[in-house]
Homo-oligomer: A and B are copies of this chain.
Amino acid sequence: MAKSIDVVVVGATGAVGQVMLKVLEERRFPVGRLRLVASARSAGRVVEALGQRVTLEVASPEVFSPGGLALFSAGAGTSQTWCPVAAERGALAVDNSSAWRMDPSVPLVVPEVNSARITPRGIIANPNCSTIQMLVALKPLHDAAGLEQVVVSTYQAISGKGARALEEFELQRAADARGETPNHAVLPGVLSQNLLTDWKHEDSGWAEEELKMIQESRKILELPALRVTPTCVRVPVPNGHSEAVWARFSRPIGRDEALALLGAAPGISLDPRVGPGLHPQPRSFSGRDDVAVGRVRVDPSDPHALAFWVVGDNLRKGAATNAVQIAEHAFGVR
């Protein structure tokens, strides 16, 4: 492949930024000049990435090349400021923050679901991790039977909150092992041997993460009236989100048909096994780029409804991999 594309990773030292670099390398994205943007504290440090020695720098208009790719994962504030600059300079900004997701002029993309919305320039938003893996699984079923309603409970991994939360969790586990009371500062409580709801809440009781799943699903599937009811929970699992999904369709759908549809769909690793322990698990699926679907079963109370279980690597398909896949489509490099 002769093509080579200048790439800048904004938030290069963060948990997702690091995985973005790994995924670019693994998927042999044709990286031309690589630039890495970090906070002022890290700027000037030289790091090794994709076989290049790169000096970390702060954001400036000059880091964004016309015709280049800018991958953002440095929080909504940074994206709010710098994605438009990248786009004006003629780069494609793929943004992993929540800054642009619900902007009507910005595509919100899961390539397996709505790759037609991908543009070669401008800003494209990467959805929330919990939304991405759920929609990869729902898409083939929706195409066949018309999705009407979703009730979903999440079992979300600690890495979704970043490296500092993982470190705090390890300290909590060690304190438990010594019989001491664990502390918390990053997490909103003790997650060792426990479960936490770990997101900002509205007065209505709804958590930010839950509202994202509702709004983003409607936008991506282009079903503005879709009924989506999530409960988001942080579990003591280091990496890999899991979801228990109940979905209702406009017509009956059997287990065999559902398995056939899921098995033929892109980006899905179908697990058709039945029995204790025979299902996708975050411990073994962490590190994968696709999404695992298992425990597919027809609702005994409603032939229009299915229940199933979805596992995805929240740092990869839930963030870095999805962003790189968007870039692959945009630049026609895969």
Contacts and interface: CB of A to CB of B under 8 A. Distances in A.
A288 interface: no
Interface in A13-42: none
A221 interface: no
Contacts of A149: 301
Contacts of A309: 197, 231
Interface residue tally on A, bucketed by range: 35 or more
Interface string A283-315: 110000000000111111110010101000000
A286 to B, nearest CB: 9
Contact of A201 (B203, B206, B274): B274
Contacts of A297: 204-206
Interface string A159-172: 00000000000000
Given A153-B153, A281-B189, A302-B227, A276 B242 contact: no
Interface in A183-205: 187-190, 193-205
Contact of A295 (B227, B231, B274, B299): B231
Interface of A, secondary structure class, is loop
Given A188-B276, A276-B201, A236 B233 contact: no
A153 B190 contact: no
A195 B238 CA distance: 11
Interface string A195-224: 111111111111100000010000000000
A195 B242 contact: yes
Contact of A194 (B214, B281, B296): B281
A309 to B, nearest CB: 7
Contact of A155 (B226, B227, B235): B235
Contact of A279 (B190, B197, B229, B274): B197
B277 A198 contact: yes
Interface of A: 149, 151, 153, 155, 173, 177, 187-190, 193-207, 214, 226-229, 231, 233, 235-238, 242, 244, 246, 255, 274-279, 281-284, 295-302, 305, 307, 309
9 contacts: A173-B177, A187-B277, A189-B281, A195-B242, A202-B274, A214-B301, A226-B301, A229-B305, A231-B295
